């Protein structure tokens, strides 16, 4: 990674070209990527993208060779989430391009800015079913903000610059640029221009009216049982500090979505934690008792609301959102405040009154005392090591200061419950699509964005095996990651549903796995196995001291369930709770 900085420094300070220079389409691509500030791309070569790779050595941009194109998309995603910049991945045509699709969809549902570059057969062969020809722009049309098919080298620079502007503006998202092989090879005059790309309609043009501000402030000032909902949009907008000021002035407690964790400090007295299907029970009860919901940068998806017919029926709703398509889609807003979240909060702050809401906060504390010990802390110590112990101890041992990248499943929910995030972009996870296999490659991407930060991958035995091929990428790049592999011998979340709703018939969920320690060691990595809670601290310490990527296999209780749980289509307060007979403290014995 030091080489990346050296290459970039050597090229910094170049002025715009005064006269055109003849360059191939492939050379233009790398030139434009560099001028867009790209430092690293993740990709896999192939026939239709060969001219681009042939031009790569002349560029200061660092290329990470992945082992599967899905990993390239997730690495670009992790880089984008960790840095706030646009992530870039590259693949060839046909199967190379289609292998990106899951990663592109993951980014789309979580509003992550990517530019995905694919090679395509020559323009003269389009529509002929040529070798590895596939209509990737058609395939990705529903899962990108926009996509381009570039058939002329003359159009390449503008298309790439537009792609970056579309990806990062408004509500961010992925953009695909498909480039025919002859467009990559053709040599044309090229001159860089610093003129900004202007795309009408990409950025929200709406301005808040004085009436909207007054109406929202009036509802906030009159509310007796208000809540603030904090979503991923707060992090995307860089509005965490403004949200903190808003909450402290109004005295309103703050609940978070899964992707919103870290946007509001977990240790703050107004922080409630996560709401929704596996959210804290007291938070869900508070939502149902509230008389006002101030939703900031979240979209009221089904994992948050449960049954919409009985969702917070007594509450008025104020919705601050950058994307007009999300307003009134699932929950009708009494006041919709469209536009940049930071500017909306800035306009709203002077209009709201200083409040404390002591009675309401006391009511929430009473709800919390009932459910905290039962659902979250009620994990027995006897018997096998349990995943919640691991996640709680990991939070304690890292002092909550690590960047955590989780996969999808039970461990993802336990991490959200037991690891307390104090700052934005300290938790990276797949929320909307729920993509197993996300964590390891996303953490690799995050490492290039934050080279000096402690990073922990939290992944289950099922998800780990989906992208374990990227372990060799860790070794190849010499990067430092710590992997907490939670091995319960099942596809845990599916097994939990089978236990609760399908009569305990565990069909296709018991999981036979390889020896994970030997697998990691075969890649030249440090690896160890933990079977008791007493071993957790020493293993974490050893992993942190290891020179490269270290894998800890935590062999945990197989039939542990995530509590509480809101069944599908059930009311938010109709949660399945942990059986009270096993109430014990989560903390160390």
Catalytic residue among 131, 222, 332, 500: 131
Residue 395 to residues 3, 404, 455, Cα–Cα distance (Å): 33, 10, 12
Give dist(CA 521, CA 313) in Å, integer.
55
Whether 181 is catalytic is yes
List the catalytic residue out of 181, 236, 317, 480.
181
The Cα–Cα gap between 588 and 565 comes to 25
Give 558's Cβ-side CA count (13 Å radius): 10
What span, in angstroms and rounded, lies between the C-alpha atoms of 223 and 251? Answer: 11
Query: In which residue are the tokens 């992925």 written?
Result: 174
Element holding 229 (H helix, E strand): strand 226-230
- H/E/C letters for each residue in 144-207? CCEEEEECCHHHHHHHHHHHHHHHHCCCCCEEEEEEEHHHHHCEEEECCCCCCCCCCCCCCCCC
Q: Residues 31, 34, 69, 415: which is the catalytic one?
A: 69
Of residues 275, 493, 565, 575, which has the active-site annotation?
493
CA dihedral in degrees (517, 518, 519, 521; nearest 10)? Answer: 90
Tokens encoding 86: 């646009």
Interior angle at CA 144, CA 79 and CA 318, nearest 5: 85
Task: Respond yes or no: is residue 493 known to be catalytic.
Answer: yes
**Which string of DSSP letters, residue by residue, matches 556-577?**
--TT---SSB--TT--TT--B-
Beta-carbon contacts of 91 under 8 Å, excluding residues fewer than 6 positions away, are: 43, 44, 46, 49, 69, 72, 97, 99, 100, 116, 117, 118, 119
Task: Tell me which residue of 239, 254, 350, 238 sits closest to 293, measured CA to CA.
Answer: 254
> Catalytic one among 8, 36, 132, 329?
132
What would you report as the CA-atom Rg of the chain, rounded to the nearest whole angstrom?
25
Is 132 assigned a catalytic role?
yes
Q: Which of the residues are catalytic? A: 69, 131-132, 181, 493
């Amino acid at each position: 990674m030091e080489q990346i900085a050296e290459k970039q420094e050597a090229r910094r300070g170049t002025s715009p070209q005064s006269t055109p220079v003849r360059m191939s389409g492939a050379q233009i691509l790398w030139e434009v990527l560099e001028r867009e500030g790209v430092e690293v791309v993740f990709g896999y070569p192939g026939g239709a993208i060969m001219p681009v790779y042939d031009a790569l050595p002349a560029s200061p941009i660092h290329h990470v060779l992945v082992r599967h194109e899905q990993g390239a998309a997730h690495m670009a995603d992790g880089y984008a989430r960790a840095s706030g910049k646009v992530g870039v991945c590259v693949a060839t045509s046909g199967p190379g391009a289609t292998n990106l699709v899951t990663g592109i969809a993951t980014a789309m549902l979580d509003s992550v800015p990517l530019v995905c570059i694919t090679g395509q057969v020559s323009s003269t062969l389009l529509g002929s079913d040529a070798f590895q020809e596939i209509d990737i722009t058609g395939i990705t049309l529903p899962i990108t903000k926009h996509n381009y098919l570039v058939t002329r080298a003359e159009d390449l620079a503008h298309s790439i610059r537009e792609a970056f502007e579309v990806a990062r503006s408004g509500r961010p998202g992925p953009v695909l640029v498909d480039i025919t092989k002859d467009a990559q090879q053709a040599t044309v005059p090229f001159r860089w221009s610093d003129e900004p790309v202007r795309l009408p309609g990409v950025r929200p043009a709406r301005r808040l009216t004085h009436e909207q501000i007054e109406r929202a402030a009036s509802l906030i000032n009159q509310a007796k049982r208000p809540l603030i909902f904090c979503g991923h949009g707060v992090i995307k907008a860089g509005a965490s500090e403004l949200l903190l000021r808003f909450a402290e002035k109004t005295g309103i407690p703050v609940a978070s979505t899964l992707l919103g964790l870290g946007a509001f400090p977990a240790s703050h007295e107004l922080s409630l934690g996560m709401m929704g299907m596996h959210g804290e029970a007291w938070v869900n009860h508070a939502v149902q008792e509230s008389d006002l919901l101030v939703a900031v940068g979240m979209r009221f998806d089904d994992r948050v609301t449960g049954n919409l017919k009985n969702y917070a029926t007594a509450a008025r709703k104020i919705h601050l959102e950058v994307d007009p398509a999300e307003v009134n889609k699932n929950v009708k807003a009494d006041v919709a405040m469209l536009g940049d979240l930071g500017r909306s909060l800035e306009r709203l702050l002077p209009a709201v009154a200083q409040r404390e809401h002591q009675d309401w906060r006391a009511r929430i504390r009473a709800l919390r005392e009932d459910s905290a010990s039962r659902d979250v802390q009620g994990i027995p110590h006897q018997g096998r090591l349990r995943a919640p112990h691991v996640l709680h101890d990991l939070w304690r041992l890292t002092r909550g200061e690590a960047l955590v990248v989780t996969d999808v499943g039970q461990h993802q929910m336990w991490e959200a419950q037991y690891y307390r995030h104090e700052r934005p972009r300290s938790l990276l996870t797949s929320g909307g699509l729920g993509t197993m296999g996300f964590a390891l490659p996303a953490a690799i991407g995050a490492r290039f964005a934050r080279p000096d930060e402690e990073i922990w991958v939290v992944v289950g035995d099922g998800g780990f095996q989906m992208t374990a091929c990227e372990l060799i990428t860790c070794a190849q790049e010499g990067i430092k990651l710590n992997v907490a592999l939670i091995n319960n011998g099942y596809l845990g979340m599916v097994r939990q549903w089978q236990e609760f709703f399908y009569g305990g018939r565990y069909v296709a969920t018991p999981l036979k796995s390889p020896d994970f320690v030997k697998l990691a060691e075969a890649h030249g990595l440090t690896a160890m196995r933990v079977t008791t809670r007493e071993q957790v601290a020493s293993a974490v310490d050893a992993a942190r001291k290891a020179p490269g990527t270290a894998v800890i296999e935590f062999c945990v209780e197989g039939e542990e369930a995530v509590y509480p749980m809101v069944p599908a289509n059930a009311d938010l307060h109709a949660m399945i709770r942990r059986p009270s007979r096993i109430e014990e403290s989560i903390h160390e014995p």
